[in-house]
Homo-oligomer: A and B are copies of this chain.
């Protein structure tokens, strides 16, 4: 029998997810950043997502638990941002070994509460249980006006692709970005409520891994990306040395937690103008265009040469 590490998290989920039967009150089930759940007689949809943060996988054992807590909360809220949702409530499942110092667990909870207050959400429940290792599972619940959640599966041929911020920064600042990033909540909500985004997701595993997911979810679309247009963080540029290597970092590094979105091309000028007024300090950058399913997915260099997408990003298990 094949071990999980051979099949991979994503390979296994590809088989499992289609077997999950959905009630009629599920507007969007598994496979997106959040589930979109239709509340009876309500002007709002409920958004729900979970995110685990596990010692030795998502952070090193000597990382201060205040940072781990901040990361766990912000990761889950980034999924709400990617749908254009407003976060409201968290539940936190914590497991820890019996010999864990109680002070350490208290510090973790203090960090969770500090992050919750920072983002104006409440920890309304959860569980603390004995296990072999420290795990923090965050459940994030939010709302959006009914029918306005932006999915990752609704990009269309011809759409332009854009990203917020600058990519490849997750290892910047002494590796602190992954613990201190701001989920793009205001931006996601703004993009959804102004009807700009035809599809959206957050970049958690790297553009090179996440962009194909958006294209796959939208019906196996093709795509043309201009690598020289990808906005690289100063860190990626400094560490990369050459522009090509900076772009490789921006393509491969996970945990940027910026937004990737598609828009109709005719809306670009208005979007860029409105965006600059709303978020003057955060870049919003077109990086390419969605193509029909019959077309390939290529990187188009300024000299006119094109090449297929390099593999990128992070898949649990298969990179063990």
Contacts and interface: CB of A to CB of B under 8 A. Distances in A.
Given A30-B125, A99-B3, A139-B139, A131 B57 contact: yes
B105 A12 contact: yes
Contacts of A106: 12, 15-16
A51 interface: yes
Interface in A132-157: 132-133, 135, 137, 139, 141, 143
A127 interface: yes
A191 to B, nearest CB: 21
A257 B132 CA distance: 26
B129 A54 contact: yes
Interface string A219-248: 000000000000000000000000000000
B122 A23 contact: yes
A132 B126 CA distance: 21
A29 B125 CA distance: 6
A42 interface: yes
Contact of A46 (B26, B46, B50, B123): B46
Interface residues of A, number: 83
Interface stretch (A31-39, A192-200, A291-299): A31-39
A103 B6 CA distance: 12
Number of identical monomers bound together in the oligomeric complex = 2
Interface stretch (A87-95, A167-175, A281-289, A304-312): A87-95
A16 B48 contact: no
Interface of A: 1-7, 9, 12-13, 15-16, 19-23, 25-26, 29-30, 34-35, 37, 39-44, 46, 48-52, 54, 56-57, 88-89, 91-93, 95-106, 109-110, 113, 116-117, 120-133, 135, 137, 139, 141, 143, 316-317, 320
